[in-house]
């Protein structure tokens, strides 16, 4: 089982830290992030700057760009005032505010390289500062170009998982089922899935992890939805368990999906988990697809969670 | 057979929706898209924006850029008119149209950061609006740069498949054959192919999928054409079938090609399918290559579909 | 042997075209390109444009950029002349050449968005043309930015192969050896190599391909040189052959190298081949590395072809 | 053992150069670079230019950009002076320094495409030079944009290894242990590790390499730290050895880590090594993680090297 999660033995010997001692909470959140808090990480790390700028919220990012623009102009307006507005071809207003605003908008015209010229540097000193500012402007916008591209070209899996996992009839017995769809219209191919069950040992309070056998763990095309099925047969760690057992042992089903994005030639990963409380017993999923009269298939993404309780 | 399509068991238990119930139509279109229509997808999805801008038709994309440019100028022309053209160093014409056009072209000069300066903001208010516009202009062109790069750098397989699949003599028996070429001059390597047959069960009207054994499913270099061969021996699901059987059972042969693009270090995929009506029985492909007198090889891409009927 | 070249069976049944009928020439050139000429490829193919612009010679590419700049200015100079130079704030000289040059350099100042303003559009018509040109300028430079990035960021393997392959003593017998180095200072890892022998059948004049067993076909680190060895034992297709046999049968050894570029996270491929005339019998490579007094290792890339004949 | 380092047989037959003859020094440095010095590499190699610009120190890179800007302006200032400042609309000062500075700042305004216009080319000759300069400016900033993007988008593994490897109690016996964390907050997945022991043969002074069996060599998620364990059982090359033996034989443990960066869809590699002097015997690592009262996990990266000696 080399492709399955097996962190129960991640930590050897006496080094029992992670994965075994974890307490009441869930390991993996619904959004796929892992519940580990890190200490000792310095607040500013240059090697994280790009990562942070790329992954931060889009509105914050735009705000950062605009704030940077405003502050840089403020800085250069200060420098131009210090140089003296008499170094410019159109000295502008006499009051300090007028001078400041003249300097500020001259700075903006220089930083963006618009350079109308109705105000322009009239001395070599002012020219030198303006040359620095225009170089800074160009490099900043080169950076912004790269960041914007980096932001929207990075892989974005949009796999949506059913809110609940179901224990449903499967062949002669029962199976644990969860399903997911690709919310995007791009084609995902060579999709792989693995499911791991985490259980707390009632005696030692240590966690044990079990890779669950799946009816199918790889498909070549993923045009519609996929219902992942773990058959609860005699080899399953769920054999003989009932709902109360899972709740009592703090069970958590961790789901890992890997796929290849055909459009952008990128491998993408997505994770989620289901706690015992998110497993419904004795229910089954309703179909998400139907065949039209003309033989074509329709899938309704809104039906992802559609299910029915069984008598 | 882990590398073959096997979606016949994609949907477990009672969840019979896709791949099994599909009716008369073909599953995979000639261009490789899959015949599933999606409902419940919101009209505007921010996570699709980049995808849509990257994959849309090139003429539409250029039109979108130009339209965006025109509309942005219209918006800012309106703002400048609202501010009042007397806030500019050259008020220009007296009529409203003249004022509007002055504002419009000042906007264009600001958005593109040309900034000739024959019209320039003469008040702090006008300067502030112009500063906003020039910042917007730079960020927009940063975005456009990223989108243009994203568009032409994304993987473009240009594999062309023969229009028909042939049932041709092969060794002692017969084989199902289709062939394809790389239309681009870049080198594709480590090319893999798999073929899946979809048949409708005459009783249940359910679809069954069969991965077909191929004479060869991987080559290291792909300098010319590749004729994919499925030998129709006793292990083949086609054994004993005739043309009418395939037509009656709505047969469809789905072909998946995976390759590595040597030039851009990207994995590319392409798909197509052949319905029963696109299979010709008792014909064979003619060679696409010939050896010149000097020993060099010539391949004529136009001959991709060249074939001859056998008596 | 799924990882080896096996194009001897690339073409099935009666479709004997490529790889089997090829005549006197070599299959793979020293630089790794394959000797197949393509017919039926249209002269202009939009899907090749990016590929061509990315892979063309750097001087040609710069020339293309400059030529495009000059011609675009010529085009717009013509438009400005047609509009009439009286539509500009500084009509400039009276002669046609003067007018043309005024228009030409105004165009250049607009296309590059410098926009000094000593000549500027004085009418709405001239403004409209200039707005179009500045938009075109920005989009062109967005394209140029993408192309420049695409050019220097694409994978460049710089593996250099020894000019000759040697048949040298190896263990108790002999081995066919070729060696290669990474000319770049980046780290290549997980390097894989495969060697295929192509021989012409003396009777049918058909080519046969043989994957050669290698002493080692994969290394994890590639800090220095690698000598690839095919042991000529009784299982080798070279067993019992002498130099004249290889020459007579038009032998060609095709070498494929695959590696992962640690610096840029890209998989790279390189190929070469050795004809029978490029195999030297009874010689061995001299070491390219030596140990310094301080225990450090030195590799001299110039010694790649250093070898000595054996008595 | 296809996934393990095995360079002991990298060099065949009589070609004993690398990996076997190496003397006293370590093979792999702590930072993962390999101790091989290259001769015969030309000083300037165009194919290395991008690599060098991408991997050079960030301050040097910024310095290079600024220096390039200053020198280009110097060059063009010289050209403008040669043309003569009387070719410009505002001849400026009479002295040579004034003329030079006028030319210099006009150049800066042209190169950055600010183009205020208070100085502008007044003749066709001056216009032609300025057009060249503005084109050069745009292309240079296109290049800078690409380089900046290339610099911050390239893979940066930030795996930190423990300073020492420990020989600690493990199950019934002992094990060699080293551990590492991901310093970045991005998610690494599908992490693989391999460890190779290099020992000097006391008789021949040749190096032998041994791939070490690991308790675990692959995990799917890497949320916290990973302690790599090589159990020292009877099959281990360390069986029966004591600290002095390792020191005497110049032992070096080479560690290779491979992982997939979930955020940027890139495969990353990192290496390090431990010499015999960096192995501490009879100590064990202290846990880096603890469980909070609320059941959540905390990992303190500062504790990476925390260990205790055993009595």
| pLDDT for the residue numbered D23 | 55
What ipTM score was computed for the predicted complex, to two decimals?
0.82
Would the pLDDT of B139 be above 70?
A: yes
| Average per-residue pLDDT for chain A | 84
Same domain as B142, residue B95: yes
Mean per-residue pLDDT for A96-102? 91
Q: What is the arithmetic mean of pLDDT over D232-237?
A: 92
Q: What is the pLDDT of residues B169-211, one digit of tens each?
A: 988 899 999 999 988 877 788 888 989 888 877 776 677 778 8
Residues of B in contact with D115 (CB under 8 A): 115
Burial C249-277 (b: 16+ CB within 10 A, else e): bbbbbbbbbbbbbbbbbbbbbbbbbbbbe
Helix then strand count (H, E) for chain A reads: 5, 15
Residue D18 to chain C, least CA–CA distance (Å): 6
Residues B199 and B285 in one domain: yes
pLDDT of residue D165: 97
Residue ranges of C 106-145 with Cβ closer than 8 A to chain A: 113, 115-117, 145
Stronger pLDDT, C80 or A89, i.e. the higher one: C80
Query: Does B296 contact C37 at a Cβ distance shorter than 8 Å?
Result: yes
Across the interface, do D113 and B113 touch by the CB < 8 Å criterion?
yes
Q: State mean pLDDT over B35-49.
A: 75
Strands C188-200 and C207-211: antiparallel
Q: Kindly list the residues from chain B whose CB atom is less than 8 angstroms away from the CB atom of residue A192.
A: none
Inter-chain residue contact B145 with A144, CB threshold 8 Å: no
| Dihedral sign from CA coordinates of D227, D232, D233, D234 | positive
Q: What is the CA radius of gyration of chain A?
A: 29
> Domain residues for A140?
46-153
Greater confidence (A54 vs A44) lies with A54
List C-alpha distances in Å: C81 to B148, B176, C71, C97, C126. Answer: 32, 65, 15, 11, 10
Please report residues of A whose CB lies closer than 8 A to that of B139: 65, 141, 144, 148
Nearest to B276 by CA among B222, B220, B198: B198
Sheet of B289-291, strand order: B289-291, B297-300, C36-39
Tell me the chain A residues in contact with residue D144 when contact means C-beta distances shorter than 8 Å. 138-139, 142
Concatenating the DSSP letter of every residue in C96-127 gives HHHHHHHHHHHHHHHHTT---SSS-B-SHHHH
Residues of chain A in contact with residue B18, where contact means CB-CB under 8 angstroms, are: 223-225, 289, 297, 299
Best of D4, D138, D212 to disrupt the C interface by mutation (most C CBs within 10 Å)? D138
Q: Is D180 found in the same domain as D284?
A: yes
Beta carbons of B117 and D113 less than 8 Å apart: no
pLDDT tens per residue, range C129-170: 999 999 999 999 999 999 998 888 887 778 999 999 999 998
B146 contact partners, CB below 8 Å, separation of at least 6: A145, A148, A149, A152, A153
Select from C113, C117, C145 the Cβ nearest to the Cβ of A117: C117
d(CA C104, CA B293): 54
Show residues of chain A in contact with C148, CB under 8 Å: none
Q: Is there a single domain that holds both residue C182 and residue C297?
A: yes
Burial of D311 (0-12, 13-18, 19+ CB in 10 A): exposed
On whether both C180 and C238 belong to a single domain, the answer is yes
Last-in-domain residue among C119, C153, C187? C153
Q: How far is A270 from chain D (nearest CA, A)?
A: 9
Please tell me whether residues A170 and A286 are part of one structural domain: yes
pLDDT digit string, tens, across residues D281-297 = 999 999 888 777 776 77
Q: Tell me the chain C residues in contact with residue A116 when contact means C-beta distances shorter than 8 Å.
A: 117
Statement: residue A30 has pLDDT above 60: yes
- For the segment B212-224, the average pLDDT, to the nearest whole number, is 83
Please, which residues 4-33 of chain D have a Cβ atom closer than 8 Å to chain A?
A: none
Beta pairing partners, A208: A199
* Among the partner residues A112, A187, A288, nearest to B134 by beta-carbon distance: A112
Residue A196 in tokens:
């791991």
pTM: 0.86
Q: According to the model, what pLDDT value does residue D172 have?
A: 86
Report the pLDDT averaged over residues A237-263: 89
C267–B220 C-beta distance less than 8 A: no
d(CA B180, CA B160): 5
CATH number at residue B95: 1.10.287.70
Both B215 and B276 in one domain: the answer is yes
What is the length of chain A? 311
Verify that D184 and D300 share a domain, yes or no.
yes
Query: φ, ψ for residue D207 (rounded to 5)?
Result: -90, 140
For residue B298, give the 3-state DSSP assignment: strand
Which pLDDT band, with edges at 50, 70 and 90, does D4 fall under?
Answer: very low
A23 Cβ contact list (under 8 Å, min separation 6)? D291, D292, D294, D295, D296
User: Which residue in D113, D117, D145 is closest to B117 by CB distance?
Assistant: D117
Of chain D residues 234-293, which have a CB less than 8 A from chain B? none
Q: Of B206, D303, A133, B181, which Cα lies nearest the Cα of C17?
A: B181
Q: How far is CA A145 from the centre of its chain?
A: 21
Question: Where among A153, A182, A200 does a domain terminate?
Answer: A153
Contact between chains at D300 and A39 (C-beta distance less than 8 A): yes
Question: What is the DSSP secondary-structure string of B117-173?
Answer: SSS-B-SHHHHHHHHHHHHHHHHHHHHHHHHHHHHHHS----EEE-SSEEEEEETTE
Q: Per-residue pLDDT tens for D110-146? A: 999 998 888 889 889 999 999 999 999 999 999 999 9
Which residues, numbered 162 to 191 in chain D, qualify as contacts with chain B under a Cβ-Cβ cut-off of 8 Å?
none
Determine, yes or no, domain membership for B7.
Answer: no
Contacts of C among chains (3+ CB pairs under 8 A): A, B, D
Q: CA nearest D64: which of D147, D150, D153, D139? A: D147
Structural domain count, chain C: 2
CB of C65 less than 8 A from some CB of D: yes
Nearest CA-CA partner of A118 in A127, A109, A126? A109
- In which band, very low, low, confident or very high, does the pLDDT at C11 lie, cut at 50, 70 and 90? very low
Element (H, E) at D260: strand D252-261
Give the angle C30-C32-C33 at the CA atoms, nearest 5°.
Answer: 110
Same domain, B293 and B205: yes
Task: Say what the pLDDT of residue C92 is.
Answer: 66
Tokens of A133: 């500012």
pLDDT in tens, B54-112: 888 999 999 999 999 999 999 999 999 999 988 888 766 778 899 999 999 999 999 99
| Domain CATH code at residue C227 | 2.60.40.1400
Tell me: do B185 and B301 sit in the same domain.
yes
Q: What is the pLDDT of residue C144?
A: 92
- Work out whether strand D165-170 and strand D279-281 pair parallel, antiparallel, or are unpaired: parallel
Residue C215 falls within a domain, yes or no?
A: yes
Cα separation values, B27 from A225, D144, D162, Å? 15, 47, 54
B302 burial class (0-12, 13-18, 19+ CB within 10 angstroms)?
Answer: exposed
The distance of C35 to chain B (nearest Cα, Å) reads 7
> Does B27 map to a domain?
yes
- What residues are paired with A231 via a beta bridge? A175
CA dihedral (D78, D82, D87, D91) positive or negative: positive
Give B142 to chain C, closest Cα distance, Å: 8
Contact of D105 with chain A, judged by CB distance below 8 Å, is answered with yes
Do B166 and B134 lie in one domain? The reply is: no
Gap from B156 CA to chain A (nearest CA, Å): 9
A-chain residue closest to D102, CA distance: A124
Contact assignment for C128 to B105 by CB distance below 8 Å: yes
The number of beta carbons lying within 10 Å of the beta carbon of residue B294 is 8
Among the three residues B106, B135, B153, which one is the final residue of a domain in this structure? B153
Residue B101 contacts C where some CB pair is shorter than 8 Å: yes
Q: Chains A and D: how many Cβ contacts under 8 Å?
A: 218
* Inter-chain CB proximity B141 and C143 less than 8 Å: no
Give the range with max mean pLDDT: A121-125, B153-157, B224-228, C296-300.
A121-125
Q: Say if B48 falls within a structural domain.
A: no
Contacts of C137 in chain B (CB under 8 A): 112
Looking at beta carbons, which residues of chain B come within 8 Å of C154?
263-265
Any domain includes C114? yes
pLDDT at A31: 86
- Does some domain include residue A38? no
Can you tell me which residue has the tokens 């390097």?
Answer: C191
Cβ of D118 and A35 within 8 Å?
no
Q: Cα dist. D213→A3, D196, D228 in Å? A: 19, 9, 10
Nearest to B130 by CA among B63, B184, B80, B78: B80
Q: Is residue D260 part of a domain?
A: yes
Residue identified by tokens 């015999």 is D276
Residue C284 in this model has a pLDDT that exceeds 50: yes
Chain C residue closest in CA terms to B185? C48
Structure tokens given for D254: 């080479």
**Is C67 a domain residue?**
yes
Instruction: Measure the CA–CA gap between A137 and A130, rounded to whole angstroms.
Output: 10
Together in a domain, D56 and D104: yes
């Amino acid at each position: 089982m080399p492709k399955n999660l097996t962190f129960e033995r991640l930590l050897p010997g006496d080094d029992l830290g992670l994965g075994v001692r974890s307490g009441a909470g869930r390991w993996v959140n619904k959004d796929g992030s892992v519940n580990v808090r890190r200490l000792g990480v310095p607040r500013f790390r240059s090697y994280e700057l790009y990562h942070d700028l790329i992954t931060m919220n889009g509105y914050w990012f735009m705000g950062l760009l605009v704030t940077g623009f405003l502050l840089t102009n403020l800085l250069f307006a200060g420098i131009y005032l210090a140089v003296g507005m008499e170094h410019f071809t159109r000295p502008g207003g006499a009051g300090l505010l007028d001078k400041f605003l003249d300097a500020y908008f001259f700075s903006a015209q220089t930083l963006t390289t618009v350079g109308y010229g109705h105000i322009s540097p009239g001395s070599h000193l002012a020219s030198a500062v303006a040359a620095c500012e225009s170089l800074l402007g160009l490099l900043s916008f080169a950076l912004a170009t790269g960041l914007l591209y980096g932001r929207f070209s990075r892989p974005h899996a949009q796999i949506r998982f059913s809110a609940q996992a179901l224990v449903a009839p499967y062949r002669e017995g029962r199976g644990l089922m969860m399903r997911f769809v690709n919310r995007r219209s791009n084609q995902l191919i060579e999709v792989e899935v693995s499911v791991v069950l985490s259980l707390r040992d009632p005696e030692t309070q240590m966690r044990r992890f079990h890779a669950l056998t799946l009816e199918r763990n790889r498909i070549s095309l993923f045009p519609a939805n996929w219902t992942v099925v773990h058959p609860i047969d005699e080899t399953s760690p769920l054999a003989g368990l009932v709902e109360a057992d899972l709740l009592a042992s703090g069970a958590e089903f961790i789901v890992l999906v890997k796929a290849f994005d055909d459009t952008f030639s990128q491998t993408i990963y997505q994770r989620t988990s289901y706690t015992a409380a998110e497993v419904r017993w004795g229910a089954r999923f309703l179909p998400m697809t139907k065949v039209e009269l003309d033989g074509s298939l329709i899938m309704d993404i809104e039906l992802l969670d559609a299910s029915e309780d069984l008598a």
